[in-house]
Structure 1
Amino acid sequence: MRTDGPVVIATDFSQHSEQTVRWGVDAARTRHAAVLLVHSYRDPSEAAAWGWYPMVPDTQEYEQEMLTQLHAVRDEIRAREPGVPVEVRLMRGPVVPALRELSSQAQLLVLGAHGQGRRPGLGSISGQLVTYATCPVALVRTAHAAADAPVVVGVDGSRSSLVAARLAAQEAARRGRPLRVLHARPVPADPHGRGPAVDGTAHLSPDDPTHAAARAVADELHSAHPSVTVSLDLRDDDPVHALVEASREADLLVVGSRGLGAFRGLLLGAVSRDVVRAAHGVVLVVRDPD
């Protein structure tokens, strides 16, 4: 993963996009990185070729309007964060390929979880870029968390989750936040209908292999970032449910793109896919460099 590229923020000028831009600029400031503010559009004549309107806007006028909006957002950022370098780029063509190409040079890609329709869930463009972008992708829904809210990272022992855990520790250090390392063990079916403990907490002996492995990860992260308070959260619960519930009170939820259950070559595992669709707040999806 690159650490010297810009933070690329995609905007569609929607109301939700304002908090996406704000979150992305804050991330760039803590990383001491530049911002590349991007809007990608399709030629109006292509978008309306099969529409109801026989008249389409002049392409040059339309492009100038988009540039004007980009420059206005850029100027707002520069006024609010004068120490963060900001450039803008207007790209013509399909959004996903354009942003995927930029992701190869970026250290972080920041997107709104949904677009102009503002429907709950995950937008189609965001969903594709979480899968195909080559750098970490932050999906912004709401961006407000309590002052003591932790960075939460899900770990399952996979290489992808360990990469995510190390990046989560870096984020916690940058943000001055505690770090919670969460491991959820799926609960096996009980023929008698008895579930886990009421609170879902896994009551494991320190000698249990699962406890020992998770503790080793937490200890490694604390050793690398001694200023960060690291806690371990072991649960008997469905991993998706545990992570989504944890995201309610998290400053940031970090997940790896693939878990232990993912087939080799699968770009986005089932747990990661379901978490990014249902999570609250901001989710950072981290891809294994390999």
Structure 2
Amino acid sequence: MTASSVPGSVAGVLVELSRTAAAVVVGGGGEPSRPFVGSTALSVAAHAQCPAVVLPDRLTGASGRVVVGVDGSKQSGAAVDFALSYAARHGATLRCVVAWSIEVVDGAVVTEPGTPEWEAVETKHRALVERVLADRRTAFPDVPVEIEIRRAKAATALLEAAAGADLLVVGSRGRGGFTGMLLGSVSKRVLEGSTMPVAVLHKGE
């Protein structure tokens, strides 16, 4: 471990260093109205060129559980890679979470749990996760993997599933030049509402 003093804003310096770093870690620095994430952490998570890990002010004891959001995108694939590697290093179980809200089967909106239509939707999403994991499980055969399908908004599903977890991993699908757009709406909401460490992965990581 080394330490150095670098002139410049905290966010700017960390983002610049992220260009050659394996990961950048920053405290949430929240305020009373936003208890977890502050402007510095939000900016670093949005602009970092490597995985950005944002820590809450207080860390709880290890639960042996890592949660990752899966939606089939390249960013979520990068998140799964990061989450599997982390879980392998720490002897943790990986929980893959898929969220859905509106699905149509045979021309009708699916609303009733336990119906054939509901089961069809969950089967479809479970198959998506299995496809994402297919090749990756070979590299991490000792990591126990759980799949959880939730009907809820993505950020809500992830925060609920990750309650008490050691780490929540999300892929950012943001676009454009503004912080919120670079970060993506789901990852931004997760950071704003999380009480556990959150790792944000961008495309290509």
Runs (5+) with no aligned partner, structure 2: 104-109
Letter in 1 for 2:60: H
Once the two structures are TM-superposed, the CA of residue 238 in structure 1 deviates from its matched residue by 1.0
Once the two structures are TM-superposed, the CA of residue 203 in structure 1 deviates from its matched residue by 5.0
Gap change, CA 1:263 and 1:97, over 3 Å in 2 = closer
Whether the 8 Å contact between 1:196 and 1:236 is mirrored in structure 2 is: no
- 1:143 matches 2:79: no
Q: What is the distance in 2 between the residues matched to 1:145 and 1:208?
A: 34
Once the two structures are TM-superposed, the CA of residue 210 in structure 1 deviates from its matched residue by 2.6
Aligned to 2:6: 91
Normalising by structure 1, we get a TM-score of: 0.60
- 1:212 matches 2:105: no
Normalising by structure 2, we get a TM-score of: 0.83
Gap change, CA 1:254 and 1:263, over 3 Å in 2 = same
1:169 pairs, out of 76, 80, 84, with 84
- 1:281 matches 2:180: no
SS in 2 for 1:152: strand
| Mapping 1:1-290, distance limit 5 Å | 86-114=1-29, 120-141=35-56, 142-147=58-63, 149-187=64-102, 197=113, 204-205=119-120, 208-258=123-173, 266-289=181-204
Q: What is the distance in 2 between the residues matched to 1:166 and 1:160?
A: 10
From the CA coordinates, give the structure whose radius of gyration is larger.
1
Letter in 1 for 2:47: Y
Letter in 2 for 1:121: F
SS in 2 for 1:267: helix
Letter in 2 for 1:273: K
Gap change, CA 1:277 and 1:196, over 3 Å in 2 = farther
Whether the 8 Å contact between 1:153 and 1:254 is mirrored in structure 2 is: yes
Once the two structures are TM-superposed, the CA of residue 205 in structure 1 deviates from its matched residue by 4.2
Letter in 2 for 1:143: L
Greater per-residue strand proportion: 2
Percent of aligned pairs sharing the same letter: 34
Once the two structures are TM-superposed, the CA of residue 248 in structure 1 deviates from its matched residue by 1.3
SS in 2 for 1:120: strand
Q: What is the distance in 1 between the residues matched to 2:5 and 2:138?
A: 43
Whether the 8 Å contact between 1:222 and 1:229 is mirrored in structure 2 is: no
Gap change, CA 1:263 and 1:136, over 3 Å in 2 = closer
Whether the 8 Å contact between 2:85 and 2:140 is mirrored in structure 1 is: yes
Gap change, CA 1:94 and 1:286, over 3 Å in 2 = same
Letter in 2 for 1:155: V
Letter in 2 for 1:269: G
Once the two structures are TM-superposed, the CA of residue 221 in structure 1 deviates from its matched residue by 3.1
Once the two structures are TM-superposed, the CA of residue 206 in structure 1 deviates from its matched residue by 9.0
SS in 1 for 2:36: coil
Provide Cα deviations, 1:122-168, integer angstroms capped at 9, x if missing partner: 11111111111111111111322444x31100011111001111111
Letter in 2 for 1:227: D
Number of residue-to-residue matches in the alignment: 194
Q: What is the distance in 2 between the residues matched to 1:254 and 1:278?
A: 14
Once the two structures are TM-superposed, the CA of residue 114 in structure 1 deviates from its matched residue by 1.0
Question: RMSD over aligned Cα, in angstroms?
Answer: 2.9
Once the two structures are TM-superposed, the CA of residue 288 in structure 1 deviates from its matched residue by 1.2
